[in-house]
Amino acid sequence: ARGEGSMAATRTAAMLLAVLACVLACVLLPAVDALAELPPHARGGLAHKLMEQDRQYVTTDPLWITLPIDHFAPESETYQNKYFVNDTLFDRSAEQPVCFFYLGGEGPVRGISDDYVLQLAVQYKALLVQMEHRFYGDSVPNKDFSVPNLQYLTTRQALADIAQLIDAMSSQYSTNCHWFTFGGSYSGALSAWFRLKYPTKTRGSLSSSGVVNAVMRFVGFDMQVNQAIGNDCANALRLITSTFETAFNNGQSAAAKALFGSPANMSDPDFCYMMADSAAMADQYGYKSRLCSAIGGLTLDTDPQTIMETFANFTADMWGADFGSNCFYDSNCLRDDPSRWQPTSRAWRWQKCHELAYFQVAPTTDSLRSHLIDMPYVLAQCEDIFGAGTFPATTATNMYYGGIRPNGTNIFFSDFSDDPWQRASMTETISDSLPMNLVKCDGCGHCMDLHKPRDTDPQPLVQSRQMFEAYLSKWLFN
């Protein structure tokens, strides 16, 4: 899930490896790590500019590995999967060489960036590898998003991809490396799951905001946003939601949707889901103050058209003018328009409908989002897009991986107090080898520990990183 002032006109793009040491010494302004960047459909506005303004890449040249489309068939066709390697820091002659593996998630991977994990790689003289997830970006088997081909988009296939690349890297560098995996959000869950299912291949993992619990009816998402933004802001959001619902009931659906550039034939629930995401993502990514500032002046006495325009303007400014017209939320597009299914829209919807769910439906009471977003809607949407019988196997997923009671070792779980996705993550420390830390601070959002450390980081985040680094050292070498 996912403007004020003027922005500088230019932004630094890629960083030359020859000046890596110099750049690592620089103090960057706040930025979010590549593992936690905005989804592609939300990169047209202020939030993306703020996140990208100081993002630096140390590696942008892709490499390719040949992988089976089906790891679990005796014979399988193959495809090319993209990955990146930075070995400029790697001390392969060390007595206990260290290798760090970034896990790609539900979006394209652009390269290895200057972030928290890179700083750790400097400290440990580690090899860095980052892999794009199958069916995202340039790593799509058969370049095909049809339902028969999407059957190969599963977490088990993705974990087998990681295992094969780790083996290939160990062979290429002729080293018995001490591997450690890193991931955030969905890839944070994958990081934990890889440790559970391939324990002999790694020494441990960091699961930042890792959504390890495949929740079917995910009402906790809306409830956490409600809690994080405060009563006044929450009441303003409820007013916005009810104002749009009234417009629908009065035959003004097309005009209301036009404010966001959404097509008139977009279903009302699809449209309401888009609106709910616009608000929730502001909290999720640490921009709740901008949301609440934008809508804070709305009251019951405010003209309905002004209410709707205010939220439409916030959405366009924050996430881009095409946020409301994107294929990501439109069932018609997700079913019928293959030209718009990339880079994430149909693949991620399949993962939710087939295996993971995380359906962010409206709570029974005090909901911020429209009650049109209910279980019958999301389940019907899955069948509408992918065919009759499509249903997320959340029970089987949680039984296979353990949900919030995993049976494994050496996994550090980090979560953040404002992040609504924490409600699908670990809730407590299970043992010393499965620690969990909730970073509590105002504005603490999704995967916050993965950005490059800076002097302005809140003390709870600094302490969480220190806690993790103690486990990292212990697990790598003991």
| Residues involved in catalysis | 185, 419, 446
Is the CB of residue 442 less than 8 Å from the CB of residue 253? no
Unique residue bearing structure tokens 């992988």: 67
- Angstrom distance (rounded) from CA 369 to CA 269: 10
What are the CA-CA distances from residue 107 to residues 42, 169, 194, 391 (Å)? Answer: 12, 23, 19, 23
Closest CA to 373 of 462, 452, 275: 275
Is the CB of residue 271 less than 8 Å from the CB of residue 257? yes
3-class SS at 362? coil
Angle, in degrees to the nearest 10, between helices 459-477 and 116-124: 40
φ/ψ (deg, to 5) at 477 = -120, -5
DSSP, residue by residue, 205-232? EEEET---S--SB-HHHHHHHHHHH-HH
φ/ψ (deg, to 5) at 33 = -65, 160
Q: Is the peptide bond before 460 cis (omega within 30 degrees of 0)?
A: no
Handedness of CA 41, 44, 46, 49 (dihedral sign): positive
**CB contact burial 59-80 (16+ within 10 A = b; e otherwise):** beebeebebbbbbeeeeeeebe
Is the CB of residue 123 less than 8 Å from the CB of residue 456? no
What are the CA-CA distances from residue 130 to residues 64, 70, 228, 319, 449 (Å)? Answer: 11, 21, 33, 26, 18
Closest CA to 392 of 348, 425, 362, 423: 348
Closest CA to 255 of 242, 269, 271: 271
- Angstrom distance (rounded) from CA 380 to CA 358: 15
